[in-house]
Amino acid sequence: MEAIALQNLFLRAVWERDSISIEELSKHIKAPHNLTPAESLAIYRNNVVGNLSDTLASIYPVCCQLVGENFFNAMAIKFINQFPCLSPDLGDYGEEFPDFLANFEAVKHLPYLSDVARLEWHWHRVFCGEDTKGLDFQALGEIPQ
């Protein structure tokens, strides 16, 4: 089996929990003696979901405080199931979270929450962005009024 086909099979088995994919993938992975391939994939998936939940909580700490940690974690799991991580850089994950919150029924009574999340996302991107040179005051002074 080609590497890309195996990766796609793995993705379907983990995220979609597709039993046919799990069965096919079990031919290519070796699970510990006391676990089935499906159980091994479930452990892997739970670790990924836990890491992504922690990532969202670190990017959106104010949102987490506003709704409480338990509610935030439950909300994060719904988000993660809808938006799996597709980037190798966790710093790229969660950009869709503010829009998710704007449409998430359980927080409709908190209309400001998506705006808070949007502000936190932009702060995160600036904080994690490349360092820039200082402000060039001479160039700024040359800009016409």
**What pLDDT, on the 0 to 100 scale, is given for residue 132?**
65
Instruction: For 74-123, give the DSSP string.
Output: HHHHHHHHHS---SS-GGGTTTTHHHHHHH-GGGTT-TTHHHHHHHHHHH
List the chain residues with pLDDT less than 50: none
pLDDT in tens, 12-40: 887 777 777 778 888 887 778 888 878 88
**What pLDDT, on the 0 to 100 scale, is given for residue 21?**
77
Domain segments of the chain as ranges: 1-30, 42-129
